[in-house]
Structure 1
Amino acid sequence: MWSLFYSLLKFGAVGLLGMGIDFLVTWLCKEKLRINKFLANGLGFSLAVVNNYALNRIWTFSSRNSQVVQQFFTFLLISCVGLALNTALVYFFHQKLRMNFYLSKVFAIGIVFLWNFTANLLITFNNGT
């Protein structure tokens, strides 16, 4: 039980670092390199996913799976589902339940965090595979 909780904390720390990378890369590309804001956003998200995969593989889940490319694409797919789920939840909470936008975002982030952790624990980094 403690091991699972410790992994959850590690996953959260990696996620916070990834969020920082996402914002920093997006800002640098948009503001300093004058790259289109949507392309800059995509670059930030992409680099954060690569970073999060590597750190979660090594530190959070200690994966020894030799199928690194397949494992990465599974992680990427789960991340993209999480992004879509986040958007849908923010829409639902804000538009349908009339919740404050930022409060909606906080709830969505919490739900998607649990989705991402559980899906990656059971699918991407399942040590049985």
Structure 2
Amino acid sequence: MELSSDLINKFLKFGLVGLSGVVVDFGVTWGCKEKLHLHKYVANSLGFMVATVSNYLLNKFWTFHAVGRDAMFIEFSKFFGIALAGLLINNLILYVAHEKLGLNFYLAKVFAIGMVAIWNFMGNYIYTFSS
């Protein structure tokens, strides 16, 4: 894979969408964990899933301009599959960093999000939104 200006542009846009997803993810996670008193891993999963839907729509139409390629259901299924694998990786990193290494839950979550962002970009660039 060559580092073209198009790839770099898409990666930067993907990063901005990802930042908006972090805000959504943290907001939902915090609300579910601190206000609704849901279990921290349930709250984390809900935050991740809501951010996934938000990120899909923004990446589809802004980052990758993927209009009219696959049926939206099939394309979202691909995106969701990448995100679901990312969620498993996210929760594993979160568990190890928080439970085993003793990091603050939200600091561990930032670390997990950073690690999973690379997985998500590559998976969606190569699989979901490939032309």
Residue 15 (structure 1) aligns with: 18
For 2:92 and 2:38, locate their aligned partners in 1 and report how far apart those are by CA, in whole Å.
25
* Deviations 1:15-66, CA, capped at 9 Å, x for gaps: 111011011122223334x252344333221110000000000000000224
Closer/same/farther in 2, CA of residues 30 and 88 from structure 1, 3 Å limit: closer
Counterpart check, 1:83 vs 2:83? no
Residue in 2 that maps onto 1:47? 50
Tell me the equivalent position of 1:125: 129
Distance 1:16 1:106 in 2: 11
Q: Distance in 1 between matches of 2:56 and 2:11?
A: 15
In structure 1, runs of 5+ residues without a counterpart are none
Identity %: 43
Matches within 5 A, 1:55-70: 55-64=58-67, 65-70=69-74
Note if contact 2:45-2:87 (Cα within 8 Å) is conserved in structure 1. Answer: no
Separation in 1 of the partners of 2:113 and 2:39? 22
TM-score of the pair, normalised by structure 2: 0.73
The 8 Å contact of residues 23 and 44 in structure 1, kept in 2 or not, is answered as: yes
Letter in 2 for 1:84: L
The residue type paired with residue 53 of structure 2 is V
Per mean C-alpha deviation after superposition, the further-off stretch among 58-67 and 40-49 is 40-49
Q: Give the partner amino acid of 2:64.
A: F
Query: Quick one: structure 1 residues 63 and 19, their matched pair in 2 at CA, closer, same or farther if it must change by over 3 Å?
Result: same
Question: CA separation of 1:40/1:106 partners in 2, compared to 1, >3 Å: closer, same or farther?
Answer: closer
The answer on 1:24 being equivalent to 2:27 is yes
